[in-house]
């Protein structure tokens, strides 16, 4: 028995030393020259399309949203109750776009994104359609606050309408109308005449200006500060393809035209 244990310990040390042990394999394999783009979003897109865990996280988010909505509707509202939701990776799934770009060895660009949304080919995020229709059945109006461009209005509406999603019309679709990606002004405009019961999104900027345009460490600190709001009024959907975290990474990465391909090794733990 003692000999067997000693032999196993020896094998374990060999595995750790060579990077073959499962816990050390990723760390030794990716550290030296790992690049974020263009392959990074594609891996996230594959996970979004293939992982049952992704579906489960989305269902979990929308199940919580339904519980919270029922709880909030049991109380009296001063104004008409509404939900404010993001669209991309919250209601509509854009993972095929990122896989297509990666196959070309290319990254996101505004023109190719607009071409993609013009195809009106997005599927829905798991759980999104059922929840939004449930909210509508309870008399709750849905506002879609998105950073899609104005030129994307018609194809976006068509894509939402294809799934018979509630309030998929010009009055309830609020697109990007300035160079500032912050959604705060648009949220406040909705809040002026409505009670916003829930905010739903995949990016922290979908919830509050407290998360806008922050570096990595401050984004994390702000999330910690607002911890009690997640699952209460803020409903977060998973998205590891892109987002505010990515913008923050670029600002922390090496300067210059190759910042989006900066070495990730210094950020790995």
CA Rg, the chain, in Å?
22
Instruction: Please tell me the distance from the alpha carbon of residue 100 to that of residue 16, in angstroms, as a whole number.
Output: 37
Examine the pLDDT at 3 and tell me if it is beyond 80. no
Q: How far apart are the first and last CA of the chain?
A: 37
The residues facing 57 across adjacent strands are none
Q: What confidence tens digit (pLDDT) does each residue in 135-155 have?
A: 999 999 999 999 999 999 999
Residues 148 and 114: their CA atoms lie apart, in Å, by 9
pLDDT of 4 reads: 42
The sign one gets for the Cα dihedral 174, 178, 182, 185 is negative
Lowest mean pLDDT among 86-95, 100-109, 205-214: 100-109
Tell me which of 86 and 76 has the higher pLDDT.
86
* Res 22: pLDDT: 34
Provide the pLDDT for residue 239.
97
Record the pTM. Answer: 0.82
User: What are the pLDDT digits (tens) for 233-254?
Assistant: 999 999 999 999 888 887 765 4
Q: How confident is the model at residue 5 (pLDDT cuts 50, 70, 90)?
A: very low
Q: What is the mean pLDDT of residues 257-265?
A: 46
pLDDT band at 29 (very low <50, low <70, confident <90, very high): very low
pLDDT of residue 253: 53
Model confidence at 63, pLDDT cuts 50, 70, 90, reads very high
Mean pLDDT of 89-104: 94
| Residue 116 clears pLDDT 60, i.e. is over it | yes
Q: Is the pLDDT of residue 189 over 60?
A: yes
pLDDT at 259 exceeding the cut of 90: no
* DSSP letter, residue 228: G
Answer whether residue 207 shows pLDDT above 60: yes
pLDDT at 73: 97
pLDDT confidence band for 25 (50 / 70 / 90): very low
The per-residue pLDDT for 246 is: 84
**Interstrand relation of 173-174 and 194-201 (parallel, antiparallel or unpaired):** unpaired
**Highest mean pLDDT pick, 19-23, 104-108, 159-163, 260-264:** 159-163
Averaged confidence pLDDT in the chain: 84
* Mean pLDDT on 202-229: 95
Return the number of other C-beta atoms located less than 10 Å from residue 66's C-beta: 18
User: What's residue 250's pLDDT?
Assistant: 76
- Examine the pLDDT at 130 and tell me if it is beyond 50: yes
């Amino acid at each position: 028995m003692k000999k067997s244990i000693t032999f196993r310990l020896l094998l374990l040390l060999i595995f750790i030393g060579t990077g073959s042990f499962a816990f050390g394999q990723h760390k030794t394999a990716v550290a030296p020259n790992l690049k974020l783009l263009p392959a990074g979003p594609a891996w996230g897109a594959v996970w979004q399309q293939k992982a049952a865990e992704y579906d489960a996280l989305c269902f979990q988010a929308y199940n919580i949203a339904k519980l919270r909505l029922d709880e909030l509707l049991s109380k009296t509202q001063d104004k008409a109750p509404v939900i404010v939701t993001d669209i991309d990776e919250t209601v509509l799934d854009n993972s095929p776009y990122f896989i297509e770009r990666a196959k070309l060895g290319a990254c996101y660009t505004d023109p190719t994104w607009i071409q993609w949304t013009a195809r009106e080919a997005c599927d829905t995020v798991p759980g999104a359609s059922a929840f939004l229709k449930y909210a509508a059945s309870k008399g709750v109006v849905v506002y879609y606050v998105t950073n899609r461009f104005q030129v994307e209005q018609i194809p976006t509406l068509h894509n939402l309408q294809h799934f018979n999603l509630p309030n998929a019309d010009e009055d309830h679709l609020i697109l990007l109308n300035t160079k500032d990606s912050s959604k705060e002004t648009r949220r406040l405009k909705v809040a002026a005449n409505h009670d916003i019961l829930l905010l739903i999104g995949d990016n922290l900027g979908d919830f509050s200006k407290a998360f806008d345009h922050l570096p990595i460490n401050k984004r994390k600190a702000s999330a910690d500060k607002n911890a009690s709001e997640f699952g209460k009024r803020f409903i977060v959907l998973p998205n590891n393809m892109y987002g505010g975290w990515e913008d923050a990474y670029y600002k922390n990465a090496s300067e210059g035209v190759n910042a989006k391909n900066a070495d990730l090794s210094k950020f790995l733990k």
